[in-house]
Amino acid sequence: MKDFSLDIYRELLESLQKAGYELISYAEYCKGRRPERFVILRHDVDAKPSNSLRTAQIEHSIGARATYYFRTPESGCYDQQGIQAGSHKNQLSLPDAIRAIAKLGHEIGYHYEDMSLCHGDVEKAYTHFETWLEYFRRFYAVETICMHGAPTSKWDGKDLWKRYDYRKLGIIGEPYMDTDFSDVFYLTDTGRCWDGYKVSVRDKIPAYQDQWSAQGLTWHTTQQLIKAVEAGKMPLHVMITSHPQRWTNRRFEWYRELILQNMKNCIKKIWIRN
Protein backbone atom coordinates (compact mmCIF):
# COMPACT_ATOMS: atom_id res chain seq x y z
CA MET A 1 0.00 0.00 0.00
CA LYS A 2 1.47 3.37 -1.07
CA ASP A 3 2.16 6.00 1.55
CA PHE A 4 -0.01 9.11 1.25
CA SER A 5 -2.82 7.16 -0.38
CA LEU A 6 -6.38 7.46 0.87
CA ASP A 7 -6.28 3.77 1.75
CA ILE A 8 -3.41 4.16 4.19
CA TYR A 9 -4.99 7.32 5.62
CA ARG A 10 -8.05 5.25 6.52
CA GLU A 11 -5.79 2.55 7.99
CA LEU A 12 -4.06 5.17 10.18
CA LEU A 13 -7.36 6.47 11.54
CA GLU A 14 -8.72 2.98 12.17
CA SER A 15 -5.52 1.98 13.98
CA LEU A 16 -5.91 5.01 16.27
CA GLN A 17 -9.52 4.14 17.03
CA LYS A 18 -8.62 0.52 17.71
CA ALA A 19 -6.00 1.76 20.19
CA GLY A 20 -8.69 3.71 22.04
CA TYR A 21 -8.16 7.23 20.68
CA GLU A 22 -11.12 9.55 20.09
CA LEU A 23 -10.73 11.59 16.90
CA ILE A 24 -11.92 15.15 17.55
CA SER A 25 -11.96 18.62 16.00
CA TYR A 26 -9.90 21.53 17.24
CA ALA A 27 -12.99 23.45 18.38
CA GLU A 28 -13.95 20.50 20.57
CA TYR A 29 -10.51 20.64 22.19
CA CYS A 30 -10.82 24.39 22.75
CA LYS A 31 -14.21 23.87 24.40
CA GLY A 32 -12.67 21.47 26.91
CA ARG A 33 -13.28 18.04 25.45
CA ARG A 34 -10.34 16.01 26.76
CA PRO A 35 -10.87 12.23 26.61
CA GLU A 36 -8.23 9.99 28.17
CA ARG A 37 -6.84 9.35 24.68
CA PHE A 38 -7.53 11.78 21.86
CA VAL A 39 -6.23 12.91 18.49
CA ILE A 40 -7.11 16.36 17.15
CA LEU A 41 -7.50 15.93 13.39
CA ARG A 42 -6.45 19.14 11.66
CA HIS A 43 -6.30 19.67 7.90
CA ASP A 44 -4.69 22.63 6.13
CA VAL A 45 -6.41 22.95 2.76
CA ASP A 46 -3.63 24.56 0.76
CA ALA A 47 -4.97 23.36 -2.62
CA LYS A 48 -7.50 21.06 -4.31
CA PRO A 49 -10.64 21.44 -2.15
CA SER A 50 -12.14 18.24 -3.58
CA ASN A 51 -9.29 16.19 -2.10
CA SER A 52 -10.39 17.46 1.30
CA LEU A 53 -13.88 16.19 0.69
CA ARG A 54 -12.46 12.70 0.11
CA THR A 55 -10.59 12.65 3.44
CA ALA A 56 -13.67 14.15 5.12
CA GLN A 57 -15.81 11.31 3.75
CA ILE A 58 -13.40 8.72 5.14
CA GLU A 59 -13.49 10.38 8.57
CA HIS A 60 -17.27 10.62 8.53
CA SER A 61 -17.59 6.93 7.63
CA ILE A 62 -15.77 5.89 10.82
CA GLY A 63 -17.40 8.46 13.11
CA ALA A 64 -14.43 10.84 13.36
CA ARG A 65 -14.61 14.63 13.42
CA ALA A 66 -11.92 16.88 11.98
CA THR A 67 -11.13 20.55 11.37
CA TYR A 68 -10.51 21.89 7.85
CA TYR A 69 -8.72 25.24 7.49
CA PHE A 70 -9.28 26.94 4.14
CA ARG A 71 -7.14 29.67 2.57
CA THR A 72 -8.69 32.53 0.59
CA PRO A 73 -9.09 32.26 -3.20
CA GLU A 74 -7.23 35.58 -3.25
CA SER A 75 -4.04 33.73 -2.30
CA GLY A 76 -4.08 32.05 -5.72
CA CYS A 77 -3.77 28.59 -4.16
CA TYR A 78 -7.00 27.22 -5.63
CA ASP A 79 -6.75 28.82 -9.10
CA GLN A 80 -10.18 28.90 -10.74
CA GLN A 81 -11.26 25.70 -9.00
CA GLY A 82 -11.56 27.66 -5.75
CA ILE A 83 -13.77 30.35 -7.21
CA GLN A 84 -16.09 28.96 -9.85
CA ALA A 85 -18.12 25.76 -9.75
CA GLY A 86 -17.37 23.45 -12.68
CA SER A 87 -14.33 25.43 -13.83
CA HIS A 88 -11.95 22.51 -13.28
CA LYS A 89 -12.62 18.84 -13.98
CA ASN A 90 -13.33 16.80 -10.84
CA GLN A 91 -12.98 19.85 -8.60
CA LEU A 92 -15.64 21.54 -6.47
CA SER A 93 -15.77 25.27 -6.00
CA LEU A 94 -14.49 26.49 -2.64
CA PRO A 95 -17.99 27.29 -1.25
CA ASP A 96 -19.33 23.92 -2.41
CA ALA A 97 -16.40 22.08 -0.82
CA ILE A 98 -16.92 23.92 2.49
CA ARG A 99 -20.64 23.16 2.52
CA ALA A 100 -20.09 19.49 1.66
CA ILE A 101 -17.44 18.98 4.34
CA ALA A 102 -19.46 20.84 6.99
CA LYS A 103 -22.51 18.72 6.12
CA LEU A 104 -20.48 15.67 7.14
CA GLY A 105 -20.13 17.13 10.64
CA HIS A 106 -16.63 18.56 10.38
CA GLU A 107 -15.42 21.96 11.56
CA ILE A 108 -14.42 24.70 9.09
CA GLY A 109 -11.85 27.38 9.93
CA TYR A 110 -9.91 30.18 8.27
CA HIS A 111 -6.31 29.38 7.23
CA TYR A 112 -5.11 32.95 7.39
CA GLU A 113 -2.05 34.55 5.76
CA ASP A 114 -3.10 38.19 5.87
CA MET A 115 0.31 39.55 6.93
CA SER A 116 1.90 38.04 3.82
CA LEU A 117 -0.89 39.11 1.47
CA CYS A 118 -0.73 42.67 2.86
CA HIS A 119 3.09 42.79 2.82
CA GLY A 120 3.48 43.31 6.55
CA ASP A 121 1.04 46.22 6.88
CA VAL A 122 -0.56 45.25 10.21
CA GLU A 123 -3.62 47.53 10.04
CA LYS A 124 -4.37 46.54 6.46
CA ALA A 125 -3.82 42.87 7.36
CA TYR A 126 -6.34 43.04 10.21
CA THR A 127 -8.99 44.61 7.97
CA HIS A 128 -8.20 41.95 5.40
CA PHE A 129 -8.59 39.25 8.06
CA GLU A 130 -11.99 40.61 9.14
CA THR A 131 -13.21 40.66 5.54
CA TRP A 132 -12.27 37.06 4.83
CA LEU A 133 -13.46 35.80 8.20
CA GLU A 134 -16.85 37.26 7.33
CA TYR A 135 -16.64 35.55 3.93
CA PHE A 136 -16.08 32.10 5.45
CA ARG A 137 -18.80 32.69 8.01
CA ARG A 138 -21.30 32.89 5.15
CA PHE A 139 -20.89 29.14 4.83
CA TYR A 140 -19.98 28.05 8.39
CA ALA A 141 -19.94 29.60 11.88
CA VAL A 142 -16.13 29.77 12.11
CA GLU A 143 -14.82 29.49 15.67
CA THR A 144 -11.13 28.68 15.18
CA ILE A 145 -8.41 29.92 12.86
CA CYS A 146 -4.94 28.70 11.93
CA MET A 147 -1.89 30.44 10.48
CA HIS A 148 -0.71 29.38 7.03
CA GLY A 149 3.06 28.91 7.29
CA ALA A 150 3.85 30.74 4.02
CA PRO A 151 7.46 29.43 3.95
CA THR A 152 8.66 31.88 1.29
CA SER A 153 7.25 34.92 3.09
CA LYS A 154 9.30 37.01 5.50
CA TRP A 155 6.16 37.80 7.53
CA ASP A 156 4.87 35.54 10.28
CA GLY A 157 1.07 35.49 10.24
CA LYS A 158 0.87 35.20 14.03
CA ASP A 159 2.49 38.62 14.44
CA LEU A 160 -0.93 40.10 13.67
CA TRP A 161 -2.00 39.10 17.18
CA LYS A 162 0.72 41.14 18.85
CA ARG A 163 -1.50 44.16 18.19
CA TYR A 164 -4.99 42.71 17.85
CA ASP A 165 -7.08 40.11 19.73
CA TYR A 166 -8.88 37.53 17.63
CA ARG A 167 -11.09 36.61 20.58
CA LYS A 168 -12.91 39.92 20.12
CA LEU A 169 -14.08 38.51 16.78
CA GLY A 170 -15.60 35.43 18.39
CA ILE A 171 -12.59 33.18 17.73
CA ILE A 172 -11.97 30.64 20.51
CA GLY A 173 -8.68 29.13 19.36
CA GLU A 174 -5.59 29.20 17.14
CA PRO A 175 -3.59 25.93 17.18
CA TYR A 176 -0.14 27.52 17.44
CA MET A 177 -1.26 29.85 20.23
CA ASP A 178 -3.94 27.98 22.19
CA THR A 179 -2.70 24.39 22.30
CA ASP A 180 -0.85 23.09 25.34
CA PHE A 181 2.03 21.39 23.54
CA SER A 182 3.53 20.29 26.84
CA ASP A 183 0.54 17.92 26.89
CA VAL A 184 -0.31 17.50 23.18
CA PHE A 185 2.20 15.77 20.89
CA TYR A 186 2.38 17.35 17.43
CA LEU A 187 2.59 15.46 14.13
CA THR A 188 2.47 17.06 10.69
CA ASP A 189 2.89 15.71 7.16
CA THR A 190 4.76 18.85 6.10
CA GLY A 191 7.38 17.78 3.57
CA ARG A 192 5.26 14.71 2.68
CA CYS A 193 6.62 12.77 5.64
CA TRP A 194 6.07 12.75 9.40
CA ASP A 195 9.47 14.13 10.39
CA GLY A 196 9.23 17.08 8.01
CA TYR A 197 9.89 19.64 10.75
CA LYS A 198 13.50 19.37 9.57
CA VAL A 199 12.56 21.18 6.35
CA SER A 200 9.68 23.25 7.74
CA VAL A 201 9.94 27.01 8.17
CA ARG A 202 6.95 27.57 10.50
CA ASP A 203 4.87 24.38 10.77
CA LYS A 204 6.74 23.07 13.79
CA ILE A 205 6.87 23.42 17.57
CA PRO A 206 10.49 24.45 18.32
CA ALA A 207 10.08 24.40 22.11
CA TYR A 208 9.30 20.67 22.11
CA GLN A 209 10.48 19.18 18.78
CA ASP A 210 13.99 18.25 19.99
CA GLN A 211 12.55 16.87 23.24
CA TRP A 212 10.13 14.60 21.36
CA SER A 213 12.90 13.48 19.02
CA ALA A 214 15.15 12.60 21.98
CA GLN A 215 12.33 10.41 23.32
CA GLY A 216 12.19 8.51 20.05
CA LEU A 217 8.87 10.07 19.07
CA THR A 218 9.78 10.56 15.44
CA TRP A 219 8.64 8.57 12.40
CA HIS A 220 9.15 9.10 8.69
CA THR A 221 6.38 7.12 6.99
CA THR A 222 2.71 6.52 7.72
CA GLN A 223 3.43 2.80 7.94
CA GLN A 224 5.90 3.50 10.77
CA LEU A 225 3.31 5.71 12.43
CA ILE A 226 0.70 2.92 12.33
CA LYS A 227 3.16 0.43 13.82
CA ALA A 228 3.94 2.90 16.64
CA VAL A 229 0.22 3.22 17.40
CA GLU A 230 -0.22 -0.55 17.41
CA ALA A 231 2.82 -0.97 19.69
CA GLY A 232 1.45 1.57 22.19
CA LYS A 233 4.28 4.04 21.59
CA MET A 234 2.05 6.99 20.68
CA PRO A 235 1.47 9.66 23.39
CA LEU A 236 -2.03 9.82 24.86
CA HIS A 237 -2.82 13.28 23.45
CA VAL A 238 -1.93 14.14 19.85
CA MET A 239 -2.59 16.72 17.15
CA ILE A 240 -2.20 15.43 13.58
CA THR A 241 -1.97 18.04 10.85
CA SER A 242 -2.28 16.86 7.26
CA HIS A 243 -2.61 18.51 3.87
CA PRO A 244 -5.32 16.64 1.89
CA GLN A 245 -3.91 17.56 -1.53
CA ARG A 246 -1.09 15.10 -0.74
CA TRP A 247 -3.41 12.15 -0.12
CA THR A 248 -4.80 10.40 -3.20
CA ASN A 249 -5.36 6.99 -4.81
CA ARG A 250 -4.97 8.45 -8.30
CA ARG A 251 -1.68 7.27 -9.77
CA PHE A 252 -0.77 10.37 -11.83
CA GLU A 253 -1.76 12.77 -9.06
CA TRP A 254 0.20 10.72 -6.48
CA TYR A 255 3.44 10.79 -8.50
CA ARG A 256 3.01 14.46 -9.38
CA GLU A 257 2.68 15.38 -5.71
CA LEU A 258 5.71 13.23 -4.84
CA ILE A 259 7.93 14.98 -7.40
CA LEU A 260 6.71 18.49 -6.57
CA GLN A 261 7.13 17.95 -2.82
CA ASN A 262 10.70 16.67 -3.22
CA MET A 263 11.50 19.82 -5.19
CA LYS A 264 9.87 22.00 -2.49
CA ASN A 265 11.86 20.26 0.25
CA CYS A 266 15.12 21.06 -1.53
CA ILE A 267 14.11 24.72 -1.83
CA LYS A 268 13.08 24.85 1.85
CA LYS A 269 16.44 23.42 2.92
CA ILE A 270 18.23 26.19 1.05
CA TRP A 271 15.81 28.80 2.44
CA ILE A 272 16.33 27.64 6.04
CA ARG A 273 20.12 27.46 5.60
CA ASN A 274 20.24 31.05 4.37
> For residues 9 and 18, what is the distance between their CA atoms, to the nearest angstrom?
14
> For residues 248 and 256, what is the distance between their CA atoms, to the nearest angstrom?
11
How do the domains of the chain map onto residue ranges? 6-273
Question: CA distances (Å), 183 to each of 141, 144, 178, 206, in order?
Answer: 28, 20, 12, 15
Name the fold adopted by 6-273: TIM Barrel (3.20.20)
* 36 within 8 A of 236, measured Cβ to Cβ: yes
| pTM exceeds 0.95, yes or no | no
* 143 within 8 A of 170, measured Cβ to Cβ: yes
Note the maximum CA span of the chain.
50
From first to last of its 274 residues, the chain has per-residue pLDDT tens of: 699 999 999 999 999 999 999 999 999 999 999 999 999 999 999 988 989 999 999 999 999 999 999 999 887 667 544 444 434 455 788 999 999 999 999 999 999 999 999 999 999 999 999 999 999 999 999 999 999 987 778 899 999 999 999 999 999 999 999 999 999 999 999 989 999 877 666 788 988 998 999 999 999 999 999 999 999 999 999 999 999 999 999 887 867 776 776 666 565 555 556 5
- Tell me which residue of 242, 246, 247 sits closest to 260, measured CA to CA: 246
